[in-house]
Amino acid sequence: MMMANHMLCNAPLMRKPTSNFLKSCLLHTRRLVSVKPSTIDTGFILSLPKLPNPATSDLAYRRVLACYLPPSVFDRIWPRLEKFGEEAVSDRINDHISDAEKHPPYVKTRNVWGAKYPHDRLVTSEGWKRLGEWGIRNGVVAAGYEAEFGPYRRITQHAVNFLYSSSSAVFSCPVSMTSGAGRLLGRQLKDLPLQHPFHEVHRRITTRDSNENWISSQWMTERPGGSDVQGSETFAVLSPLPTQDKTAEMGFDEGDWLISGYKFFCSATDCDVALMLAKTESGQLSLFIAPTKRTVQLPDGSKQLETNGIRFHRLKNKMGTKELPTAELELKDVRAWMVGPIDRGIMTIATLLNVTRTHNFITALSCWRRGMAIAKGLARTRTTINQPLWTFPMHLRLLAGMEIKFQGLLQLAYFTTSLLSFADNGFPSDKPATYAPLPGPGEQTTVVQRALTATAKAVICKVSCIALQECQEAMGGVGYMDEPDEPESNISRLYRDTAANMTWEGTTNVLSSEVVRHLLNGKNLDIFSAWLDGAVIGRVSDLEVQEALKTSWAVLKGRLTPGKKDLGFVLAEGREIMFSLAWVVSGGLLAHDAQRDGNAAALEVSRRWVLNGEGGVGEFVIPEVVHNKQARKYEPKERLNWDCRLVWGVDLPQDAALGYRAPSRKPSGEPEKVVARS
């Protein structure tokens, strides 16, 4: 009898220790010993295995989806993800990425005679456009707004996004902003008459139809500072069109406001609509939305598309995200509509930030996982001192540490995504009894969601970058190559693109400050603690893990509470507090995941995370929180065997690499000599 997909997910996070996998590893590690001098075409040339399907090859991804989706949803979405994952590593998509990498965008403002174009011409590559269409068609925005998966829709959207982002050549950025605008505008619709243009804008930005789809961007950052947008030098003047110039159907390019100013960082400038902050005469910020172009009638009666008051000063020359057109723009009388209440621009745009930040951390995880897949491909292939790299003890430890880190933050990511999903679409009534420890609907969810969204964005983006550096180094010198024609093995691409995720939508400092101030606001710390202590830590069945987490949270809370009286001093430790918070919450979620089905590998990850402080979230932690007790003791051999299981899903082969040169040792790595231990 066939097993249902969701049942397969509950299978151990390990492959059966058959020798097929080992053979496939070792086939590559056979050393070619040549007696002839090498030439350009002869001698040893390494060849990496093809990148595996990121959906079917990633047991942690599959498991986390089985954790956050009920079987009825999982079974429906999984075949689509399998197919989409196959496409994500296909030659066709790799060709598009190469094209986007090799043809960065450029702007033309005038024709050869010097005449100004009616609108600045931003030229982007074919690859960039095709990758956008591919994502839109597969629901990387729309899935978050379609009714098919009810309350779980954001989780399914980010199941797609996880596979999409690392193959999107940073189209993930416009996707994230469009997705955020979908939530923001969606909330305005109920108070607006049906002929109001926001209905059509919302339909366009949330459709899967790439012929109809609109991309939205947001322009907040100005030269006086992006973290504190209050210094904005952009102004909005109320200036409705004269009645005779207005059309009967309330056109989107007939807004009542004119916006002028200079925006310093504007990504996705090939968008159709843009959100922008500007000050009204009160000096307070309000939020506006405008089409980037408008149709005008010329004196001869013909129609022309011209700029809606937007002029490119220049495209920015960035370290990464080069495919993405990020520009400095001058706005001059941009005709726009106000979104939300006047003078409440920051509050209004915050609705969007929870969505874009969620995209950010899922994108970072996607790129990190791709980097790991590439590095693992090299480890399977490479031998050094005549021993296979994939079983080198130190290399295994490095990869195992990364795997644990990844699994902990994957839990944090999908838990946080589920809160966004349920806060917007209602809490599900059909969730399994073993479902993750959710906060109560209403106030508790609001408090927990806000803290975790900012935390997950900052911590995951930072840790992903550090991990991608490790992936780069794990590839040796080739890891440092940046070959646009070979995206399938280019870790530099993933690293330089992921680095932007640390800064936009709030730097690590800004988010740390936000988390600390939020938790110290009113009763929020008590509300958060009631959830963490009660629903999460209090229900961990592994008592050793429960005790450790309890102590950690008590220490961390003790570091936060003085901030009620002296905020400045506690803010100085803001990063350490936020990263430690991520560590405690992820530890609790890993423990719940393990007890869901008693999976041995999940249990090992949870115990390593909590009891050994392994994997972890990097340098910014309070040591007393993360290492609050004696580490769990291991037999070194047992530990190494677990490293191998966590990374490769199999036991360490009997003739695994020693990791040093032993003169008497025969070369290892012949497939027939490898026997998996049971």
Ligand X SMILES: Cc1cc2nc3c(=O)[nH]c(=O)nc-3n(C[C@H](O)[C@H](O)[C@H](O)COP(=O)(O)OP(=O)(O)OC[C@H]3O[C@@H](n4cnc5c(N)ncnc54)[C@H](O)[C@@H]3O)c2cc1C
Asked if 507 touches ligand X (CB under 6 A), the answer is yes
Q: Which residue is nearest to ligand X (CB)?
A: 226
Length of the chain: 678
Nearer to ligand X, 71 or 320 (CB): 320
Asked if 500 touches ligand X (CB under 6 A), the answer is yes
Distance linking the first and last C-alpha atoms of the chain: 26
**Which one of the spans 2-10, 224-232, 521-529, 647-655 is the region binding ligand X (CB under 6 A)?**
224-232
Nearer to ligand X, 508 or 529 (CB): 508
Q: How far is the CB of 215 from ligand X (least distance, A)?
A: 12
H-run or E-run covering 286:
strand 285-291
**Which one of the spans 4-12, 318-326, 344-352, 457-465 is the region binding ligand X (CB under 6 A)?**
318-326
Alpha carbons 389 and 382: distance in angstroms, whole number? 6
Asked if 513 touches ligand X (CB under 6 A), the answer is yes
Asked if 326 touches ligand X (CB under 6 A), the answer is yes
Asked if 233 touches ligand X (CB under 6 A), the answer is no
Asked if 321 touches ligand X (CB under 6 A), the answer is yes
Exposure of 522 by Cβ count < 10 A (0-12 exposed, 13-18 middle, 19+ buried)? exposed
Asked if 346 touches ligand X (CB under 6 A), the answer is no
Q: How far is the CB of 177 from ligand X (least distance, A)?
A: 7
Alpha carbons 653 and 661: distance in angstroms, whole number? 18
Alpha carbons 236 and 144: distance in angstroms, whole number? 32
Nearer to ligand X, 109 or 227 (CB): 227
Q: How far is the CB of 425 from ligand X (least distance, A)?
A: 27
Among 504, 531, 579, 620, binds ligand X (CB under 6 A): 504
Nearer to ligand X, 381 or 498 (CB): 498
Q: How far is the CB of 638 from ligand X (least distance, A)?
A: 43
**Which one of the spans 212-220, 365-373, 380-388, 426-434 is the region binding ligand X (CB under 6 A)?**
212-220
Nearer to ligand X, 151 or 309 (CB): 309
Question: CA torsion sign, 131 to 134 to 135 to 141?
Answer: positive
- Exposure letters 577-611 (e unless 16+ CB within 10 A, then b): bbbbbbbbbbbbbbbbbbbbbebebbbbbbbbbbb
**Which one of the spans 9-17, 149-157, 496-504, 650-658 is the region binding ligand X (CB under 6 A)?**
496-504
Size of the site for ligand X (CB under 6 A): 21
Q: Tokens for 593?
A: 């995941």
Asked if 386 touches ligand X (CB under 6 A), the answer is no
Asked if 227 touches ligand X (CB under 6 A), the answer is yes
Nearer to ligand X, 149 or 171 (CB): 171
Q: What letter does residue 535 receive in the DSSP assignment?
A: I
Nearer to ligand X, 219 or 415 (CB): 219
Among 509, 530, 597, 641, binds ligand X (CB under 6 A): 509
Asked if 151 touches ligand X (CB under 6 A), the answer is no
CA 155 to each of CA 45, 67, 78, 173, 218: distance values in angstroms, whole numbers, following the listed order: 42, 11, 12, 18, 24
Give residues with Cβ within 8 angstroms of 505, minimum separation 6. Answer: 353, 356, 357, 360, 457
Q: How far is the CB of 513 from ligand X (least distance, A)?
A: 4
**Which one of the spans 51-59, 193-201, 442-450, 498-506 is the region binding ligand X (CB under 6 A)?**
498-506
Among 218, 348, 628, 668, binds ligand X (CB under 6 A): 218
DSSP code string of 630-654? PPPP--HHHHHHHHHHHHHSSPPPT
Q: How far is the CB of 163 from ligand X (least distance, A)?
A: 23
CA 103 from chain centre, in angstroms, equals: 25
Among 265, 288, 392, 414, binds ligand X (CB under 6 A): 265
Nearer to ligand X, 280 or 326 (CB): 326
Give residues with Cβ within 8 angstroms of 472, minimum separation 6. Answer: 371, 479, 480, 491, 492, 495
Ordered alpha helix ranges (H), 534-662: 543-560, 567-572, 574-597, 600-611, 623-626, 636-648
Asked if 503 touches ligand X (CB under 6 A), the answer is yes
CA 650 to each of CA 55, 285, 301, 391, 392: distance values in angstroms, whole numbers, following the listed order: 19, 57, 73, 11, 14
**Which one of the spans 460-468, 497-505, 523-531, 642-650 is the region binding ligand X (CB under 6 A)?**
497-505
**Closest-CA residue to 620 (of 589, 564, 582):** 582
Nearer to ligand X, 220 or 456 (CB): 220
Give me the residues that bind ligand X (CB under 6 A), please: 217-221, 225-227, 265-267, 318, 321, 326, 500, 503-504, 507, 509-510, 513
